[in-house]
Structure 1
Amino acid sequence: MRNPLPRPIALAAGATTTAAVLQRAAFLRHCVLALVAAVAAVGSFGAHAQAFPTKPVTLVIPFAAGGPTDLLGRALAQSMGASLGQTVIVENRAGAGGTVASASVARAAKDGYTLLLHHIGMSTAPSLYRKLSFDPLKDFEYLGQVADVPMTVIGRPDLPAKTPQELISYLKREGKAVNLSHAGLGAASQLCGMLLQQAVGVESTTVPFQGTAPALTALIGGQVDLMCDQSMQTVQHIKSGKVKLYGVTTRERLKPLPDAPTLREAGLKDFEVVVWHGLYAPKATPAPVLATLNTALKAALKDPALIKRLDDVGVVVVKPELQTPEGLSTQLSSEVDRWGALIRQAGTYAD
C-alpha cells in the first residue's frame, strides 16, 4: 500500500525563515491527520472483526416452561452454549399460540443475540390468525431444522376402548360426547386432534387449556377423555400407567414405546403427524453471525448427550441436510400450504 503521508517539502533557496516554519507546520498537521485517520480505520476494522458472540444469547421459547418445546429448547441451549462459548439463556414467552414470542423476535435487534425455537405452529399461524403482526416467510432468517417429535394418542385411564380399533369405533359411536383436550389454539395437540377427527370422520367436543400441563392433568384426572400430544411430554405418563396409549402418529414404532402400534397400523392409512422444530433469527441478521449460529446448531445436534436425551423420549434429530437454512425454508413453505388447507376446511380461526 502506498504511504499516505506526504513527502517533506523542499525549501527553495532563499526562502525566509517564516515561510519555512509555515511549511513545516502544514506538513506536521497533515501527518497528524493521516495518523488519526489510520487509527480510526484500524479501530473500525477491529469492531467489525470482533468475534460473535461476546455475551449470552437468548433463546425464546413461545410456550410455557415444562412443555415439550421448552424441554427441547433447554437441551438445545445447553449444547449450543458449549459450542458458542457463551451461555444460551432460555426465555419463555407464552401466548396466542406462539405468536407473541414470534412477533417479539421478529422485532428484536438484528445481531444474533435473540433467537426463536418454534415448532409446526410457525406454519399454521398465517391460517389460524386473521391478524398477524409478522410474516413467518418474510420476517426471519432460517438457521435450520432441529428435531422431529412424534405425537401420541392417549386417553383417560378408564376409557372403555382398549385398542386403536376400538377407539376408532368409540369415536364414531359417541361423536360429540367425547371430550378431546388440547393445549390451546395453535398448539401441536390441537393440530393433531384436528387431523385425528378428520381421519376418523367425526366431530368431537374440543376442550382448550392454557398449556400442555393442565390439559394432561385433566386427562389423568379423568375430566376429559382423549388427547393427542408430543412424546416428550407423554412417555413417562404412558409408562407409569397414568394414561392409556392408543397409538403413535409416525410411520414407524417408537423406540421408547416398542409395543405401541402406529395409527397407520390401526387402519388410518394416511395419518401421520410429526412436530418439526426450527431455529430462527430476525431478518437481516448479518451473514457471518448466521454462519456462526448454524455451525453451533450443527455441533449441538451431534452432541451424544443431547441425542441420548432426546432418543429416550422418541425425539429424532433431523438429518444434516435439514439442519440448514435451505432445509428449514423448504419445510416451512410446504407446511404453510398443507396446514392452511386443513384449517380453512375446519373453519378454525382466531382474531
Structure 2
Amino acid sequence: MRRLVLAVLAMLAFTGAGLAQSYPAHPITIIVPFSAGGPSDAMARVLGERMKQSLGEVLLIENVTGAGGSIGVGRAVRSAPDGYTVSFGHLGTHVANGAIYKLGYDLVADLEPVVLLPSNPMIIVSKNAVPAKSLKELLDWLKSRPQPPTAGTAGAGSGSHIAGLYFENVSGIKLQYVPYRGTGPALNDLVAGQIDIIVDQTSNSINQVRAGNIRAYAVTDSKRVENAKDVPTVDEAGLPGFHMTLWSGLWVPKGTPKEIIAKLNAAAVEALNDPAVQKQLENLGLQMPPKDQLTPEALGAWQKAEIAKWWPMIKAANVKVD
C-alpha cells in the first residue's frame, strides 16, 4: 500500500511538473466579478493585454456579476487548479465578502495569491443637481435631507459599500444604499441624477468629473491624486481621517502548481513595470504597489492583515444581505 501511495504521489508530481512546463498552451480566463466598463474591468483589460506578450496566449476577460462579486470569485474557486482561470478581485471581493456572505468557500484557504495590483483612493462624488460646492457644504446638505440620501454601490461588501459604511462612521450621516452589479452602472445613474452620491473608486469616476457630468468633493487619502490635483483630500476638505485605499489583486484556485503561479506573477510584474501600462493606469488615478510587495507571499500577508482590519467594522455594522 505504501508503495502504491508513493507511486501515485510521484505520478501527480510528474504530471504537475509537465503541466507547468507547457503552460500556457491555450487562452487564460480572468474572471472579473463586476460588470464591463467599471474600474475592475478596465484594470484587468489593461493588464491582460500586456500579459499576453509575456505568456504567449490571449487573456480573456469574463465578467461574472452578482452578490458583491462573490459569484464571480466562487466560479474561480471551483475551477480546475491549472492556471487557466484567474480571479481578479479587491478589498471588497477578497476581504469584506467573507464577513457578509455565506460564501461556501474560504477566501484564504481556497485561493492562492498571485500578485498585488495597483490601488486607488476613493473619491466622494455627487450628481450635479446637489447644490453643495465643497465637502463641508455637502455634509450639511446630506444631514438636512428628510430621508437618508441615496448612495450607489456595487452590492453588499463591494468597495463602494465598505467606503459608504466607513463614511457613515466618520460623518455620522446615515445613507440609503442602492446596489448595482458594478460601479459602472451605478455611475451611469449618478450622471443621470437617479442617486445622490457615490463614495467611488477614483479610477471609475475621474473621467466623468473631468467632463463636468458629476461633482467631486475630496479623495480619501492624505495626499492629492496625481491626475486630479484640483480635488482636495478629505483632510483638507473637512473630514480628516477618512482614509481608504481600494487595492486589487490576482488569485488562482488552491492547488495550482507553484511554477504556474510564478509564471503568472512574472507576467503581471512585467506588465506593471511597462511604462506604457503605468501611464494607462496612472491616467485612471491608480497608484503602483511598492516593488517589494509584488510577490505572491506579500499579497497573501496583506489580504490576511486587511481581514483583521475590516471584518470587525463590517460585522459591527450588522450588514444584511437581502
TM-score of the aligned structures, taking structure 2 as reference length: 0.90
1:112 and 2:83 correspond = yes
Corresponding residue of 2:319: 348
User: Aligned partners of 1:72, 1:242: CA distance in 2, in Å?
Assistant: 22
* Residue 181 of structure 1, CA deviation: 2.0
CA offsets per residue over residues 219-256 of structure 1, 9 Å max, x none? 21222211111122211110111101111112210112
Corresponding residue of 2:110: 139
Alignment CA distance shift 1:165-1:285 (3 Å):
same
1:123 and 2:101 correspond = no
User: Aligned partners of 2:82, 2:283: CA distance in 1, in Å?
Assistant: 35
CA offsets per residue over residues 119-143 of structure 1, 9 Å max, x none? 11110011111x2111011001111
User: Aligned partners of 2:282, 2:39: CA distance in 1, in Å?
Assistant: 14
CA offsets per residue over residues 13-63 of structure 1, 9 Å max, x none? xxxxxxxxxxxxxxxxxxxxxxxxxxxxxx989946743212111111111
Q: Is the CA contact 1:182–1:207 (under 8 Å) kept in the aligned structure 2? A: yes
Q: Is the CA contact 1:145–1:324 (under 8 Å) kept in the aligned structure 2? A: yes
User: Aligned partners of 1:235, 1:199: CA distance in 2, in Å?
Assistant: 23
Corresponding residue of 2:181: 210
Find the residue that maps to 1:165 and give its secondary structure. Answer: helix
Q: Is the CA contact 2:83–2:252 (under 8 Å) kept in the aligned structure 1? A: yes
Q: Is the CA contact 2:118–2:247 (under 8 Å) kept in the aligned structure 1? A: yes
Corresponding residue of 1:30: none
* Residue 180 of structure 1, CA deviation: 1.8
User: Aligned partners of 1:189, 1:222: CA distance in 2, in Å?
Assistant: 18
User: Aligned partners of 1:143, 1:47: CA distance in 2, in Å?
Assistant: 20
Corresponding residue of 1:337: 308
CA offsets per residue over residues 287-340 of structure 1, 9 Å max, x none? 111111111111111111110001112101211111111211111111112221
* Residue 103 of structure 1, CA deviation: 1.2
Q: Give the letter aligned to residue 280 of structure 1.
A: W
Q: Which has the larger radius of gyration?
A: 1
Q: How does 1:208-287 map to 2 (within 5 A)?
A: 208-287=179-258
Find the residue that maps to 2:120 and give its secondary structure. Answer: strand
Alignment CA distance shift 1:45-1:107 (3 Å):
closer
TM-score of the aligned structures, taking structure 1 as reference length: 0.83
Once the two structures are aligned, what percentage of the paired residues are identical?
A: 35
Alignment CA distance shift 1:49-1:72 (3 Å):
closer
Q: Is the CA contact 2:35–2:41 (under 8 Å) kept in the aligned structure 1? A: yes
Q: Is the CA contact 2:35–2:184 (under 8 Å) kept in the aligned structure 1? A: no
Alignment CA distance shift 1:176-1:327 (3 Å):
farther
Q: How does 1:20-31 map to 2 (within 5 A)?
A: none
Structure 2, unmatched stretches of 5+, are 1-13
Corresponding residue of 1:187: 158
* Residue 264 of structure 1, CA deviation: 1.9
* Residue 85 of structure 1, CA deviation: 1.3
Find the residue that maps to 2:238 and give its secondary structure. Answer: coil
Q: Is the CA contact 1:176–1:203 (under 8 Å) kept in the aligned structure 2? A: no
Q: Which moved further from structure 2: 166-175 or 228-237?
A: 166-175
Corresponding residue of 2:6: none
Q: Give the letter aligned to residue 188 of structure 1.
A: G
